[in-house]
Amino acid sequence: MAPTTTTAAAAAEVAEKPPPQQQQQQQEREVMGLAAHDASGHLTPIRITRRNTGDDDVAIKVLYCGICHSDLHTIKNEWRNAVYPVVPGHEIAGVVTEVGKNVTKFAAGDSVGVGCMVNTCGACESCADGCENYCPRIVFTYNSVDHRSPTTTTTTRGGYSGAVVVDRRFVVRLPAALPLDRGAPLLCAGVTVYAPMRQHGLCVPGKHVGVVGLGGLGHVAVKFGKAFGMKVTVISTSPGKREEAVERLGADGFLVSTNPSEMKSAMGTMHGIINTASASTSMHPYFALLKPKGKMILLGLPEKPLQIPPFALVGGGKTLAGSCMGSISDTQEMIDFAAEHGVAADIELIGVDEVNTAMERLAKGDVRYRFVIDIGNTLKSD
């Protein structure tokens, strides 16, 4: 969150680095992965190239990778930016196999995680402020131009693969108290909800937060909200999730967004709302739940634009804010907080053979609450 001296040091380090071509003494190596080749999103095995471990790199054997709805948006080209073949995956938990000579923070055998980004410029205002997730030159973990690629034409390939090689600045430590399979989803879903809750003051005991959409992001938001000591109400399109939201996840309340009397009963009661809906919906009923000066934090990235009636915001002086992932320091802070407070994702662990079925189920909202691919035990190495 707050600017850190380590980020300033990282910026200086980047400025001193030789151009990427000179860093690449490495030989390439091949690993297996799963790729979508067109907007059908169907995933099939693919052999991909990983750079050898550079001086600042950490080589990681992928053990588990969560399936984020962004993976689904991307492989189906719903954001119109897919560069096929797409190897998704940015909720990566694994074990270090090798480190470059400048890497002192990690060693072979360490449990580590990688989230949504694998490079930033290190020199812009956002990077200097410790908000590298807003760097204009951010390199996402997959489907992003890869400045460090052995060839100049490739895009980054993510964690639906046997191994990744990542600059040390984008690797976080996973404490022993956090199970790797249930911890993997925190690398995207976890930090994406945790960072704005902290930044917008939705982490204060006794305050009331609403969570729109009880999916991968939403269920973790409920868990963090309760760990912060907040009153948490889920706002869902799925009446069938009521009991599990309250009994299993610990939510204090549950509103079906299409039930006007339930929604009316909670009007004007919430300090903030974390909106994780993956599809477009009318925003007006959600704004009505906020207290005057309440904040709606938009995290979901639906394919279609949202419609926001001006009176819903202007009356009551309400704020609509967006938030994208979190910084690396947010991510490490969130992971350490999760380990300390027993927060981890509720997952359905699947093998690589089940990934296409899982994508179909995710599209229908049929998952409790995150699919995680057991890469380590089920991905064939050739």
Binding site for Zn ion (CB under 5 A): 68, 70, 120-121, 124, 127, 135, 188
Pairing mode, if any, of strands 347-350 and 319-322?
A: unpaired
Task: Give the residue among 147, 120, 148, 145 at the shortest CA–CA distance from 135.
Answer: 120
Each residue 56-85 as x (binds ligand NDP by CB under 6 A) or -, in order, gives: ------------xxx--x------------
53 touches ligand NDP (CB under 6 A): no
Helix and strand element counts for the chain (H, E): 14, 17
User: Considering beta carbons, is residue 85 or 158 the nearer one to Zn ion?
Assistant: 158
299 touches ligand NDP (CB under 6 A): yes
Q: How far apart are CA 53 and CA 118, in angstroms?
A: 14
User: Considering beta carbons, is residue 11 or 68 the nearer one to ligand L3LJF4O6?
Assistant: 68
Instruction: Provide, rounded to whole angstroms, the least separation between the CB of residue 349 and ligand NDP.
Output: 16
Among 70, 111, 141, 323, binds ligand L3LJF4O6 (CB under 6 A): 70
User: Considering beta carbons, is residue 94 or 300 the nearer one to ligand NDP?
Assistant: 300
The amino acid occupying position 277 is A
Among 111, 141, 156, 192, binds ligand NDP (CB under 6 A): 192
Instruction: Provide, rounded to whole angstroms, the least separation between the CB of residue 263 and Zn ion.
Output: 28
- The answer to whether the CB of 215 falls within 8 A of the CB of 188 is no
From the list ligand NDP, ligand L3LJF4O6, Zn ion, none, partner contacted by residue 127 (C-beta under 5 to 8 A by kind): Zn ion
288 three-state secondary structure: coil
User: Considering beta carbons, is residue 140 or 369 the nearer one to ligand L3LJF4O6?
Assistant: 140
From the list ligand NDP, Zn ion, ligand L3LJF4O6, none, partner contacted by residue 120 (C-beta under 5 to 8 A by kind): Zn ion
Task: Give the residue among 62, 335, 64 at the shortest CA–CA distance from 190.
Answer: 335
As given in the structure block, the two tokens for residue 195 are 């960072």
User: Considering beta carbons, is residue 68 or 87 the nearer one to ligand NDP?
Assistant: 68
Instruction: Provide, rounded to whole angstroms, the least separation between the CB of residue 249 and ligand NDP.
Output: 11
Q: How far apart are CA 323 and CA 161, in angstroms?
A: 28
324 touches ligand L3LJF4O6 (CB under 6 A): yes
Cα pseudo-dihedral 225, 196, 368, 38, rounded to 10: 180
Q: Provide the β-strand partners of residue 60.
A: 96, 164
From the list ligand NDP, Zn ion, ligand L3LJF4O6, none, partner contacted by residue 77 (C-beta under 5 to 8 A by kind): none
Number of residues that bind ligand L3LJF4O6 (CB under 6 A): 7
188 three-state secondary structure: coil
The three-point CA angle 172-325-294 to 5° equals: 130
Contacts of 247 (CB under 8 A, 6+ apart): none
Q: Which residue spans within the chain are E strands per DSSP?
A: 29-36, 43-50, 57-66, 92-99, 111-114, 117-119, 139-140, 163-167, 172-173, 208-212, 231-236, 253-256, 270-275, 290-298, 319-322, 347-350, 370-374
From the list ligand L3LJF4O6, ligand NDP, Zn ion, none, partner contacted by residue 135 (C-beta under 5 to 8 A by kind): Zn ion
Residues that bind ligand NDP (CB under 6 A): 68-70, 73, 188-189, 192, 213-218, 236-238, 241, 276-279, 281, 299-302, 323-325, 362, 365
Binding site for ligand L3LJF4O6 (CB under 6 A): 68, 70, 116, 140, 188, 324-325
